[in-house]
Amino acid sequence: MPVKFWETDMFQQFSAFGMSAGHCVPLLNMRKSLILSCDHQKLEREARICRLLKHPNIVRLHDSISEEGFHYLVFDLVTGGELFEDIVAREYYSEADASHCIHQILESVNHIHQHDIVHRDLKPENLLLASKCKGAAVKLADFGLAIEVQGEQQAWFGFAGTPGYLSPEVLRKDPYGKPVDIWACGVILYILLVGYPPFWDEDQHKLYQQIKAGAYDFPSPEWDTVTPEAKNLINQMLTINPAKRITADQALKHPWVCQRSTVASMMHRQETVECLRKFNARRKLKVIFVLFPIFLHKEIKLFGSTESCNTTTEDEDLKVRKQEIIKITEQLIEAINNGDFEAYTKICDPGLTSFEPEALGNLVEGMDFHKFYFENLLSKNSKPIHTTILNPHVHVIGEDAACIAYIRLTQYIDGQGRPRTTQSEETRVWHRRDGKWLNVHYHCSGAPAAPLQ
């Protein structure tokens, strides 16, 4: 009996037993009636590419089946989750461990390049572990953007990939080929060593300018404990000129990779683990912001949209709704400051999801954690005396959803009578049901939002 993992308008994933081997494999199921012919061609291209690849570090395609209006891709069952999520759960993580990870990633990239395949979307989300067993193999997944090339051919294959991992040549819209995957490997290796990416800016235009200029460095103190050999490999991977960039085969022969036991440091990198935990939380938040408008768009299509011909009225309505979101956010924060859990629950969805420092980077679902926080962690003797929301930005998503991002400044007197100030960067997603706004997702970075005992 298949067990459904997840479902959207276009995809369903199941766990089912293979017909011959008796192994449990997931099925990626797509309704033909819901896709355009060009999308169907892309799916067939992905299947064709995956059939060429048989390697222990690549998720293997077993079969492609079309029947009764459905298309199935039958892959290996990969149960270990994302590599980056596994790393933050480890008690010990060193530079040598990072070397072992990138070694396996390079093995998979070298294999696809030998078959004249370019992945084009190498990123943490596509690096999985075969199982939850210690030492499980890293598996490269998702060849939805992969292309076939002719040897070392360089051509313009279109703009494709994920912003932080795009190479300079793609951003310049120059001809490109296999070296784009090596650039992405360099970004991944950088993150593996310190827990944050080499290129980062909330403004995508500025991010792309950084990448095109190759504007990264190895700041102190976190990079002081990384060996010169590791930095050398990163530099060779993040070479702006793709013709001078190291290849996967050459990278596998780099001393830091092939001689890790004597070259790579064995020192535990706790700061890297902490930074990586925050990095993972930010990645998941971005996924929520991508999926939430899709979910909302589905509701709008079901119930219809009400478009007004009066632009002035629309603008005024938008302003009113934005102020409404700011006001309800202020009410929620006031409930927190007052330690009023009852008022807090009236403004929050029972299934509220959240990332916050007190949860150590873990995704919290439901109200149990928040109840514990109100009852045990909120200081009873040191109430915040003033809270300010700075630079609130509200994005209205349809009629019944919005998200707000802001800086929260909290000033209070601690237990010793000393004035304290904490700052946190927060984002909240709101959904209106039956005329009432409810907080459905919350993300906080920085220090805990309220003083702790």
Minimum mean pLDDT range among 119-133, 166-180, 194-208, 273-287? 273-287
| Mean pLDDT of the residues in the chain | 81
3-state secondary structure 166-184: CCHHHHCCCCECCHHHHHH
Say if residues 112 and 60 touch (Cβ distance below 8 Å): no
Whether the predicted pLDDT of 126 surpasses 60: yes
Question: Would you state the pLDDT for residue 422?
Answer: 75
Q: Would you place residue 33 in the very low, low, confident or very high pLDDT band (cuts 50, 70, 90)? A: very low
Whether the predicted pLDDT of 210 surpasses 90: yes
- Cα(246)–Cα(243) distance, integer angstroms: 8
State how far the alpha carbon of 400 is from the alpha carbons of 293, 313, 349, in Å.
Answer: 11, 17, 14
Vertex 239, ends 193 and 184: CA angle to 5°? 55
Q: Specify which residues 442 forms β-bridges with.
A: 354, 428
Say if residues 197 and 190 touch (Cβ distance below 8 Å): yes
Q: Does the bond joining 221 to the residue before it have cis omega, within 30 degrees of 0?
A: yes
* Domain residue spans of the chain: 3-75, 83-273, 306-446
Report the greatest alpha carbon distance in the chain. 72
Q: Taking each helix axis as running N to C, give the angle between helix 95-114 and helix 179-194, from 0 to 180 degrees, rounded to the nearest 10.
A: 170
- Cα(80)–Cα(60) distance, integer angstroms: 15
Class of the 83-273 domain?
Answer: mainly alpha
Question: Would you state the pLDDT for residue 399?
Answer: 81
Question: Mapping DSSP to helix (H, G, I), strand (E, B) and coil, where does residue 326 land?
Answer: helix
- Cα(285)–Cα(405) distance, integer angstroms: 12
Whether the predicted pLDDT of 43 surpasses 90: no
Q: 353 is written with which tokens?
A: 């999801």
Say if residues 244 and 215 touch (Cβ distance below 8 Å): no
Q: How would you classify the pairing of strands 436-446 and 348-355?
A: parallel
Mean pLDDT value across residues 173-195? 96
Q: 74 is written with which tokens?
A: 């039958």
Whether the predicted pLDDT of 439 surpasses 60: yes
Question: Would you state the pLDDT for residue 390?
Answer: 82
Pick from 47, 37, 55: nearest CA to 73: 47
Question: Would you state the pLDDT for residue 419?
Answer: 72
Q: Would you place residue 32 in the very low, low, confident or very high pLDDT band (cuts 50, 70, 90)? A: very low
* Cβ-Cβ contacts under 8 Å for 108 (sequence gap 6 or more): 55, 57, 58, 138, 139, 140
Question: Would you state the pLDDT for residue 363?
Answer: 81
| Residue in this structure with the two tokens 């235009």, named with its chain if needed | 205
The residues that are catalytic are: 121
Q: Would you place residue 374 in the very low, low, confident or very high pLDDT band (cuts 50, 70, 90)? A: confident
Whether the predicted pLDDT of 291 surpasses 50: no
CATH number, domain 306-446:
3.10.450.50
Whether the predicted pLDDT of 234 surpasses 80: yes
State how far the alpha carbon of 46 is from the alpha carbons of 28, 120, 141, 144, 155, in Å.
Answer: 12, 12, 11, 6, 20
Minimum mean pLDDT range among 269-273, 296-300, 325-329, 414-418? 296-300
Q: Would you place residue 66 in the very low, low, confident or very high pLDDT band (cuts 50, 70, 90)? A: confident
State how far the alpha carbon of 19 is from the alpha carbons of 22, 24, 62, 192, 332, in Å.
Answer: 6, 10, 11, 39, 54
Backbone angles phi, psi at 21, to 5 degrees: -80, -20
Q: Would you put residue 167 in left (φ > 0), alpha (ψ -120 to 50) or beta?
A: beta
Which of 373 and 104 is assigned the larger pLDDT? 104
CATH 3.30.200.20 given to domain 3-75? yes
In this structure, the number of other CB atoms found within 10 A of the CB of residue 39 comes to 13
Question: Would you state the pLDDT for residue 233?
Answer: 98
Which of 283 and 5 is assigned the larger pLDDT? 283
Whether the predicted pLDDT of 305 surpasses 90: no
Read off the pLDDT of residues 254-273 as tens digits, 9 standing for 90 and up: 999 999 999 999 999 998 98
Read off the pLDDT of residues 378-406 as tens digits, 9 standing for 90 and up: 655 455 567 778 888 999 888 889 999 98
Instruction: Return the DSSP state at 94.
Output: B
Instruction: Return the DSSP state at 59.
Output: P
Whether the predicted pLDDT of 326 surpasses 80: yes
